[in-house]
Structures are given as C-alpha cells and as structure tokens.
Amino acid sequence: MKNFSTSGPLFSKNLSLNLGGSIMDLSRPRVMGIINATPDSFYDGSRVPEPAQAIEKAREMIEQGVDILDVGAVSTRPGSQEISEIEELERLSPVLEALREAFPDFPVSVDTWRASVARTVKERFEIQLINDISAGTLDPDMFPTMAQLGIPYIIMHMQGTPPNMQDDPAYENVVDEVLQFFAERVYKLSLLGVNDIVIDPGFGFGKTLEQNYMLLGQFDSFKMLELPLMAGISRKSMIYKLLESEPDDALNGSTAAHMALLLKGARLLRVHDVKAAVETVKIFQQIC
C-alpha cells in the first residue's frame, strides 16, 4: 500500500492508523478524497454514481497524491432525506467492487452510519475504515460492530440529523460541548476495546456559521483527546457563505481553512480537491 510500513519508529496513537496490519504514519498529515456514489451531494463535482466514473475520479485522485478514498452513498447535506439500507448498499456495492478491482490495495473508507452496512462492506470489499457522521448515535449497534470489525473508526459530532440539523443549532459553548461529546463517546468505545479512533468535530453539521468558526479557531483544543484529528470543511457553506459565493467558487477559501486546520493539529483533511490539499500539506510541512 502507498506510503505504508509496519517497521520503523514506534508510533504514538495520535500519529498513526492501523489499516489491516499496515501502519499509516500520520506524522505527515494525510488527504482523504471524497467519492460520492450519490446523485444529490451538495457539490456536484464529487458525484460519481457510476462505477466507471468512480474509477476515473479515484485514478485522478491517486495520481494527485491522495492517501485514502472515502466512498459514501447517502447525501448528508442539510435538509437531505434518508434512504433505505437496501438503496445505500445498491449504490455502494458496484462502486466499491469497481474500485477494489482497479485499485485492490489502496486504502478505502466508507461513509456510513449503519452498522449493517459497515459489516457488509468490510466482509465483501475489505474496506479499511468506517467514517460515521453520527459517532454511533444513529445506530446503537455501530459501537459493538466496530469492536468486532477491528478497523479504524472516524467519529463525527452532529447536532440533530441531516434533515433538521440546521433548523436552529444551539449551544452554550460549542467547543466545550463537542469536546464533552467526544470524551463520552471515546470512553464507551474504549470499554469495548475500540482504540483506533479518529475525531471529526463535524463542521457544518448542526452548527451556525459563527459556531463553525469558533470550532475552527479552537480546533487545537481537541488535541487533548490524544487521538488523530480530521477536518471535513471542503467547499462547505461556512466557506462560501462567508465569502458570498457558491460551492463551485469555494476552493480558495477551503485551501485557506485547510492551512489553518493543519497549523492547529489536523492529521487528516477530507476534501473534494486533492491536488490543492496535497500542495497545502507540502507547504505546511516546509514551514512546520
């Protein structure tokens, strides 16, 4: 696998991920490329519902230096409607099958909150990570399932659910409350033996524009959890609304935010635009 080794220095738990026995070193921040097997993602540049499109998009990302491909089949944009488990798997399966055939050893994450979907894609396609927008709150079986699967688990904070999360987000202190949420979720996971955990504060998921920027400004507070930190901020409304533009025009703003997040401790960037993110990481490494 690309940039992997099972030898070398002893990695601390917040600077590595164990992907099927191979260690991904996070001392260099990594880039996760978004592949949406859905027709209704908020940014149309990430939509690749057909296997051939997914292969083309993945190949482009790999050539640009991506480290992980993150495949999702359910739109979670504000106001989106839930689809059935059957439909989610019908969208995921042909894309994952095509990606596995074309790039058999490349790290693949699946973006799902359903335990049954996580089990199926691990068994059928040997995916290496699960990316759960609900941190186990939407499916009580997700935590024990992740303990059984034994693969890294990305947990994200979300207030509410995608259909209603932006109706009226309210916090007394958004940073403190999100930190407390993760402390409780990580403790429950640790009791089940799940230790390979990545933290994502959930920019845009049940937060106002001001709350999102409070999280960005204090992103380094999450380092106290001593786990890898991921940021999914690419082309989101907190970028384009602040700049009075649209998602198609939000690359420059996303890149500026990515550098700020790297400076505050992000180890993973989940992005639509791999080339720009990889270049941002290279500049970050040169100055830090």
User: What pLDDT score does 50 carry?
Assistant: 85
Residue bearing tokens 């059928």: 124
Q: Does residue 20 belong to any structural domain of this protein?
A: no
What whole-number distance in Å separates Cα of residue 10 and Cα of residue 17? 12
User: What pLDDT score does 167 carry?
Assistant: 76
Which residue of the set 57, 114, 235, 270 is catalytic? 270
User: What pLDDT score does 158 carry?
Assistant: 92
User: What pLDDT score does 260 carry?
Assistant: 98
User: What pLDDT score does 160 carry?
Assistant: 75
Q: Does residue 127 belong to any structural domain of this protein?
A: yes
Q: What is the tally of structural domains in the chain?
A: 1
Contacts 24+ apart (CB under 8 A), 209-215: 209/237, 209/238, 209/241, 209/242, 211/169, 211/171, 211/174, 212/236, 212/238, 213/238, 213/242, 214/174, 214/175, 215/174, 215/175, 215/178
Identity (one letter) of the amino acid at 176? Answer: D
User: What pLDDT score does 8 carry?
Assistant: 37
Give percent helix, percent strand, percent coil of the chain, each to the nearest 5.
45, 15, 40
User: What pLDDT score does 78 carry?
Assistant: 64
Identity (one letter) of the amino acid at 223? Answer: K
What whole-number distance in Å separates Cα of residue 103 and Cα of residue 24? 17
What whole-number distance in Å separates Cα of residue 188 and Cα of residue 167? 29
Q: Does residue 9 belong to any structural domain of this protein?
A: no
Q: Does residue 16 belong to any structural domain of this protein?
A: no
Q: 124 an active-site residue? A: no
Give pLDDT tens digits along the chain (288 positions): 344 433 333 334 568 999 988 899 999 999 999 998 877 555 455 567 688 989 999 999 999 999 999 999 887 766 557 789 999 999 999 999 999 999 999 999 999 999 999 999 999 999 999 999 999 999 999 999 999 999 999 999 998 777 676 777 889 999 999 999 999 999 999 999 998 999 999 999 999 999 999 999 999 999 999 999 999 999 999 999 999 999 999 999 999 999 999 999 999 999 999 999 999 999 999 998
pLDDT digits (tens, 9 = 90+) for 178-201: 999 999 999 999 999 998 999 999
User: What pLDDT score does 12 carry?
Assistant: 45
User: What pLDDT score does 91 carry?
Assistant: 92
Q: Does residue 3 belong to any structural domain of this protein?
A: no
User: What pLDDT score does 80 carry?
Assistant: 55
Q: Does residue 151 belong to any structural domain of this protein?
A: yes
User: What pLDDT score does 47 carry?
Assistant: 64
Which residue of the set 236, 241, 264, 282 is catalytic? 236
pTM for this predicted structure: 0.90
Q: Does residue 17 belong to any structural domain of this protein?
A: no
Structural domain of residue 154, as residue ranges? 25-287
Q: What is the CATH number of the domain that holds 105?
A: 3.20.20.20
What whole-number distance in Å separates Cα of residue 8 and Cα of residue 13? 15
User: What pLDDT score does 218 carry?
Assistant: 97
Q: Does residue 13 belong to any structural domain of this protein?
A: no
The closest of 235, 183, 228, 233 to 213, measured between CA atoms, is 233
pLDDT digits (tens, 9 = 90+) for 30-75: 999 999 887 755 545 556 768 898 999 999 999 999 999 999 988 7
Q: 270 an active-site residue? A: yes
